[in-house]
Chain A
């Protein structure tokens, strides 16, 4: 799979980018650090020490890693498109965080941000992604759904299954930094590609600016419509600018494959259905993604990806696979067991309420999904969720019968027969 991501830009992008980067080689636009040149340094009237943010009350990954020395080194740099360190960290400065929840606290304005500001981003990535070291490690990409074992859950417990990820269009700035023209181009490129989907993936695009009242109501009823972001984590990073210009939702007629355009990322891709057939959800996810990729490549575009960081998205927390695979599952007894959190941790899973991140569970129904994003492939992560959820359901069943939970003797709570993947990339 990785070999298909050849780093060729379409000619129209080359002209614009090269003229800015001042003649460096086309390949240098991409991902090896020594080839990426930063844009024009900023005018700055105050020394770095006078500009360094006050992070004493802050608890996010940016604040933990941004030393005055790193700030001084990077504050005068800019990406070829002109994105700066101050812009990248603004959301983390404005949102000190919570004593218990550690947010990331910075965003990328474009693909090159991950290179130009690597001195800050690499340690942040390492902290956020469990020790993954972008300087030495490689991320495996694997969208071969046939490798998934089992993956059809007991529907007395699992109410719905869903897999989401994001994709960015190489050559266009990301939501925190994009101009209106760039954002409109993202919309054009993606909508054009999606119109080529066929079969069960045939669908329709609903632009936020042009949708009718009925369409809006239907999308709300289907739980598809996304709102203008109100979270200061997003608004302070500039992602809500020019709303609702060039934002929209595409979904297939069967309402099982959905794409958000220009929300927090260029695209968010979601495959979902009621019930417990995670295998089918993932199969459609992979198929749809590959089709979309083929369609944009036909038109001379490609996704942002490299072997260090996998798929490049706006928030460093979504690097790698950008994948969150999850279920809504009824675990009324297990969720009250004091061992619940520890069990989830050891399974590399997280719980959320059924309204999504930051909501509470209702009626013992939890959103259970993978914790990890980077360092393991899509297949590995989805398998982790499948094995983990199966185990949780077993625990719930045992508790129903008045039995105690069965812990694995090997030290991990899940027999890891399915986890022995080669990690190779197709």
Chain B
């Protein structure tokens, strides 16, 4: 159980064979990597805050996965988890992030001016644009592991930082446990409110403990910049607006993030980051940029084209339904976003979205006119840092 690490020493009275989980029916990254040898080597270790291997892998044991969807199956409890348990996490990271090696370096680029174009996606097709990422605050443990005291301290610090923003970022914080009914209704209507996690992927990792203590939503008065506090990560930062001006969304994203980071640094609690893994987040799938930049776009014809999936893969994009991950598309409207997180920069990832969506809208228009699109099908996009390997 999270935060009760003293139990770990007691466990060592049992042999590896007796404790090793039964992963025979499992299909997630953790289950594919964890051997008895690795388990044996890491089981008596713990991070300085007391997070243990069994804590890391519990969610993957409890959620065997799906034959077609490969979940990660492990989480970090703090920044040091990625070091102490690297023997497990490095191969998981490599599998999840297209062969990323322990020696690779990740590039961070939040200079929105480096983005080319992106302000002219056709609003007849692109209904909305959004960029999100996560940030963890150095010196605190992560949502699977933190205590109520820590979580409240994170909330306090986040609120201080956010309420000091001004200009286009002037806004207000709504703590989950004390918001009024009217506020709650408004946040639901704005599609801002996040719920207590019900996904067992999260609950089995202990991320819903003490709900709704220490959780809340901050957003600016314009409702274009939004921060979730203490949901799956310390902070989830979201920039969004209707229609297709992804450039503007990304500008606000970069500027807002950098302002927030400065304030945290002043309090001696910068963001968790290193040059190998980029921004450190709870789930290994969100390492690197932690960025998912995407649009809701109408592609009724293209989405039924036999080469749709291949086009997405080549463009390094993924599709989801408009309810988010695990939902189906409605009325031919898809959520299209970048598939990569680690090994390429924020600018590079958003560039892929901008360029890819532009191309797909053009394909859609061609298909509307009854024309073929075979000549438009792109070559496989490759990442700059290492040779392109298709991601799942």
Contacts and interface: CB of A to CB of B under 8 A. Distances in A.
A50 B152 contact: yes
B61 A83 contact: no
A238 B203 CA distance: 10
A67 interface: no
A179 B1 contact: no
B213 A53 contact: yes
B13 A51 contact: no
B210 interface: yes
Given A177-B7, A181-B11, A240 B209 contact: no
Given A46-B149, A242-B62, A81 B7 contact: yes
Interface in B257-282: none
Contact of B6 (A53, A54, A78, A235): A78
Contact of A94 (B7, B20, B22, B211): B211
Contact of A182 (B5, B14, B15, B147): B14
A185 B6 CA distance: 21
B332 interface: no
A52 B5 CA distance: 19
Given A54-B213, A94-B209, A235-B203, A179 B149 contact: no
A83 B62 contact: no
Contacts of B153: 46, 50
B18 interface: yes
B interface bracket (residues with beta carbon within 8 Å of A): 35 or more
Interface string A111-137: 000000000000000000000000000
A71 to B, nearest CB: 11
Nearest to B141: A45
B7 A86 contact: no
A243 B152 contact: no
A68 B46 CA distance: 30
A90 B3 CA distance: 11
Nearest to B17: A181
Contacts of B147: 44-46, 51, 86
A93 interface: yes
B210 A242 contact: no
A245 B11 contact: no
Contacts of B20: 180
B4 interface: yes
Contacts of B204: 241
B177 interface: yes
B49 interface: yes
Interface in B227-265: none
B300 interface: no
Contacts, number: 105
B80 interface: no
Interface stretch (A22-30, A35-43, A214-222, A400-408): A35-43
A83 to B, nearest CB: 7
A177 B211 CA distance: 21
A184 interface: yes
A380 B229 CA distance: 54
A240 B62 contact: yes
Given A20-B10, A54-B177, A81-B7, A181 B18 contact: yes
Given A43-B50, A50-B152, A209-B22, A82 B6 contact: yes
Interface in B18-55: 18-22, 49-50, 54
B1 A39 contact: no
A387 B54 CA distance: 51
Interface string B95-134: 0000000000000000000000000000000000000000
A370 interface: no
B61 A242 contact: yes
Contacts of A20: 9-10, 13
Interface string A360-386: 000000000000000000000000000
Given A16-B13, A181-B11, A235-B203, A86 B4 contact: yes
Contacts of B58: 241
A201 to B, nearest CB: 30
A47 to B, nearest CB: 8
A19 to B, nearest CB: 8
A53 B8 CA distance: 25
Contacts of A82: 4-10
A235 B150 CA distance: 23
A147 B312 CA distance: 76
Interface of B: 1, 3-11, 13-15, 18-22, 49-50, 54, 58, 61-62, 147-150, 152-153, 177, 203-204, 208-211, 213
Q: Give the 5 A-B CB pairs with smallest separation, nearest first.
A: A46-B149, A82-B6, A82-B7, A181-B14, A181-B18
Given A180-B19, A238-B1, 16 more contacts: A20-B13, A43-B49, A45-B147, A53-B213, A54-B213, A82-B4, A82-B9, A83-B4, A83-B7, A90-B1, A90-B209, A181-B11, A181-B18, A241-B58, A242-B21, A242-B62
Interface of A: 16, 19-20, 39-40, 42-47, 50-54, 57, 78, 80-84, 86-87, 90, 93-94, 176-177, 179-182, 184-185, 209, 235-236, 238, 240-243, 245
22 contacts: A16-B13, A39-B6, A44-B147, A45-B147, A47-B149, A50-B153, A51-B148, A53-B148, A53-B213, A57-B177, A82-B8, A84-B3, A90-B1, A90-B210, A93-B209, A94-B208, A94-B211, A179-B11, A179-B19, A182-B14, A242-B21, A243-B62
